[in-house]
Amino acid sequence: MGAAPASRDVTSYGMGLAAPLALFFLLFFVAPLLQLFWLSLHNDTAGLHWGLGQYLHFLTDPFSLSVLGSTLLLGAEVTAVCLVLGFPIAWLYQRVGPRLQTIIILIVLLPLLTSVVVRTFAWIVILGRQGIINATLQSLGIIDTPLKLLYTQFGVVIALAQVQMPLMTLPLITALGRIDPNLDDASCSLGAGSWRTFFRVVLPLSLPGVIAGCTLTYAAAITAFITQSLVGGGQMLFMPMYLYQQASTLQNWPFASAISIIFLLAVLAVVSVFTTLGRLSRGYGGA
AA letter at 44: D
- Nearest CB to another protein, comparing residues 182 and 249: 249
- Nearest CB to another protein, comparing residues 28 and 199: 28
Query: If binding is defined by CB under 8 A, does position 39 make contact with another protein?
Result: yes
Query: If binding is defined by CB under 8 A, does position 51 make contact with another protein?
Result: no
- Nearest CB to another protein, comparing residues 6 and 48: 48
Distance CA 257, CA 246 (A): 9
Query: If binding is defined by CB under 8 A, does position 31 make contact with another protein?
Result: yes
Which of 19, 100, 125, 186 binds another protein (CB under 8 A)? It is 125
Of the candidate spans 38-46, 176-184, 215-223, 264-272, the one that interacts with another protein by CB under 8 A turns out to be 38-46
Q: CA dihedral defined by 98, 176, 165, 129, rounded to 10 degrees?
A: 80
Q: CA dihedral defined by 243, 248, 254, 257, rounded to 10 degrees?
A: 40
What is the per-residue binding string for another protein in 206-235, x denoting contact by CB under 8 A?
-----------------------xx-xxxx
Query: If binding is defined by CB under 8 A, does position 249 make contact with another protein?
Result: yes
CB 169 within 8 A of CB 156: no
CB 210 within 8 A of CB 175: yes
What is the per-residue binding string for another protein in 138-177, x denoting contact by CB under 8 A?
----------x-xx--------------------------
Beta-ladder partners of 50 = 42
Query: If binding is defined by CB under 8 A, does position 130 make contact with another protein?
Result: yes
CB 59 within 8 A of CB 65: yes
Q: What residues between 250 and 269 interact with another protein by CB under 8 A?
A: 250-253
Q: CA dihedral defined by 263, 266, 272, 277, rounded to 10 degrees?
A: -130
Q: Identify the burial level of 224 via C-beta atoms within 10 angstroms of its C-beta, where 0-12 means exposed, 13-18 middle and 19 or more buried.
A: buried
Of the candidate spans 162-170, 197-205, 211-219, 242-250, the one that interacts with another protein by CB under 8 A turns out to be 242-250
Query: If binding is defined by CB under 8 A, does position 20 make contact with another protein?
Result: no
3-class secondary structure, 42: strand
AA letter at 215: T
Contact residues for another protein, defined by CB under 8 A: 27, 31-32, 35, 39, 42, 46-48, 63, 121, 124-125, 128-131, 148, 150-151, 229-230, 232-235, 237, 241-242, 244-245, 248-253
